[in-house]
Amino acid sequence: MESRIPREECGIVGIYNAPEASKLAYLALYALQHRGQESAGIVSAEDGRLYMHKSKGLVADVFSADTLEALPGARAIGHVRYSTTGSNMEANVQPLLANYHAGSLAVAHNGNLTNADALRAMIEKRGAIFQTTTDSEIFLHLIAHSASSTFKEALLLSLMRTKGAFSLLLLRPDSMVAVRDPNGFRPMVIGKLGDGYVVASETCAFDIMGAEYIREALPGEILTFDKDGMHSEMPFAKSESAYCVFENIYYSRPDSIASNGRSIYEIRADLGRELAREFPVEADVVIGVPDSAIPASIGYAQESGIPYEMGLIRNHYIGRTFIEPQQSIRDFGARIKYNPVRGVLEGKRVVVVDDSIVRGTTIKKMVNMLRRAGAKEVHVRSSAPPWIHPCYYGVDTPSPKELVASYMTPQEICEMVKADSLGYLSIEGMRKVMPAGVGYCQACFDGIYAAGKPANFVKEIMEG
């Protein structure tokens, strides 16, 4: 799948009232590592103070026994982050920590505001100094500039001014607040751990901590955790829920649990089954692009009755830059990630299932690689509909003109990548599979933006 480029930008976790909270947060961030590999950070609270450690790098590299030891207390929030090239400044690493008139406050944010530019300009006009280029810092300044007498009121009034996507964790010395935006674009789940609570982007974070999944946070819900436990409020005007479909198709871990209680794995297998019904083909073997498209390929195989095999092996230990010889090796970029299993492919008619096609360049190399490994026919199947529109709600997207489906028909793409056939799952097919009972944001496919577009879409402040 070409979707290695669009990456979910952030994963968050919050722990309230559990011993060694920072170590738990570290484990949770490790489980959420797929949501952001560029930086990691944790802020913990104890005895009226906040403690922070954060840095660029993978979770396992950023933290050591010593750094975790220096993050005491039973309360913590954590963040992993991916950002677009050019703005991977050290200063942008989250959580962000502020000292202001009402004390200390840390914030971890997943999502993107659509009115960030206007808010930032307004706040700067009032004298604020920004330390980062992220929209996440806006929350801090709005709260610090609020005239409200209580933190809760300042927070509410600040949130009222923001538009867009935010799953937000705020840590103060004595309490933690979790907020999910009124559309619920980005995921947020609640769990129980001993006497305390945990909040995270996905349930896989609960499993590694040994916490128990309770429920999703509701769109527009504000959850306050303090010495009296968890308190829920729904202060926003009611909006349509608009859950990100791409979480289910691609971003979330397959072992995380979706809004209807099913595993993401099962949803993806169903997407594969639906895809097999929409785009059947005579073939000898079904393979998937590892790791994210494996569930859909298993579903496709089960529905079609064509055997599923591992036709592509993924090189481990990636996530680093590789040094390419000057005498460049053919399809180097694909080769460094995947290697075909010749015995599975040789002389076979191959269905290869991917979960997203972005620029079309990777799938083109993949088709070429499969043919050189002996495949007689290569049939490309995408378990996601054509990706045509950019995401303004927290997914790093290339500019629209780089999205191949925005300017080519499937038939043209099929010819360009030199596949024997190409089938994209339909939007309708996709929706049949998605858990019922909630609304979805599928703007990347249909261009309908529930929370509007930014007036002046500036890439640099789309991080968080």
Answer yes or no: 10 catalytic.
yes
Q: Which is nearer to a copy of itself, 315 or 399 (CB)?
A: 315
- Per-residue interface string for the shown chain with a copy of itself, residues 268-287, x marking contact by CB under 8 A: -x------------------
Residue of 174, 282, 324, 446 that binds a copy of itself (CB under 8 A): 324
CA angle 258, 252, 400 (to 5 degrees): 115
Q: Binding to a copy of itself by residue 339, rule CB under 8 A?
A: yes
Enumerate residues 2-31 that contact a copy of itself by CB under 8 A: 19-20, 23-24, 26-27, 30-31
Residues 380-409 that bind a copy of itself (CB under 8 A): none
- Cβ neighbors of 191 (< 8 A, separation 6 or more) are 197, 198, 199, 200, 203, 206, 209, 211, 212, 213, 214
For 79, the token pair is 């963040």
Site residues for a copy of itself, window 96-115 (CB under 8 A)?
A: 98-101
Is residue 265 at the binding interface for a copy of itself, with CB under 8 A as the rule?
A: yes
As measured in angstroms, the least distance from the Cβ of 422 to a copy of itself is 25
Interface with a copy of itself, residue 307, by CB under 8 A: yes
Q: Are 25 and 13 in contact (CB under 8 A)?
A: yes
Options 10, 244, 391, 441, the catalytic residue: 10
- Report the Cα 134 to chain-centroid distance in Å: 17
**Integer Cα distance of 106 and 169 in angstroms:** 8
CB 386 within 8 Å of CB 2? no
Instruction: Find the binding residues for a copy of itself in span 131-160 (CB under 8 A).
Output: 131, 140-141, 144-146
326 touches a copy of itself (CB under 8 A)? yes
| Residue 238 found at the interface with a copy of itself (CB under 8 A) | no
Binders of a copy of itself among 432-461, rule CB under 8 A? Answer: none
- Alpha-carbon torsion, ordered 66, 69, 70, 73, to 10 deg: 170
Identity at 309, one-letter amino acid code: E
Contact pattern from residue 410 through residue 429 relative to a copy of itself, giving x for each residue in contact according to CB under 8 A and a dash for the rest: --------------------
Residue 329 contacts a copy of itself per CB under 8 A: yes
By CB under 8 A, tell whether 248 contacts a copy of itself.
no
Give the β-pairing of 421-424 and 377-382. parallel
Nearer to a copy of itself, 131 or 239 (CB): 131
Least distance to a copy of itself from the beta carbon of 451, Å? 26
Min dist CB 145 to a copy of itself, Å, is: 3
| Separation of alpha carbons 413 and 363, rounded Å | 10
- Does residue 254 touch a copy of itself according to CB under 8 A? yes
> What b/e string do you get for 408-421 counting C-beta neighbours within 10 Å, with b at 16 or more?
eebeebbebbebbb
In whole angstroms, give the CA distance from residue 433 to residue 464.
Answer: 29
- Residue closer to a copy of itself (CB basis): 113 or 165: 113
Residues in the chain: 464
One-letter amino acid of 299: G
Q: Is 128 in the site for a copy of itself (CB under 8 A)?
A: yes
Note whether 59 binds a copy of itself by CB under 8 A: yes
- Which CB atom, from 45 or from 204, has the smaller least distance to a copy of itself? 204
Orientation of helix 116-125 relative to helix 136-145, angle to 10°: 40
Q: Does 47 bind a copy of itself (CB under 8 A)?
A: no
Q: Name the segment binding a copy of itself (CB under 8 A); options: 41-49, 178-186, 305-313, 386-394.
A: 305-313
Is the C-alpha dihedral spanning 336, 320, 318, 189 positive or negative?
negative
Phi, psi of 11 (to 5 degrees): -130, 145
Alpha carbon 264 to chain centroid, angstroms: 13
Of residues 193-222, which lie at the interface with a copy of itself (CB under 8 A)? 204, 207-210
| Sequential DSSP letters for 291-310 | TTTHHHHHHHHHHH-PPB--
Q: Which residues are catalytic?
A: 10
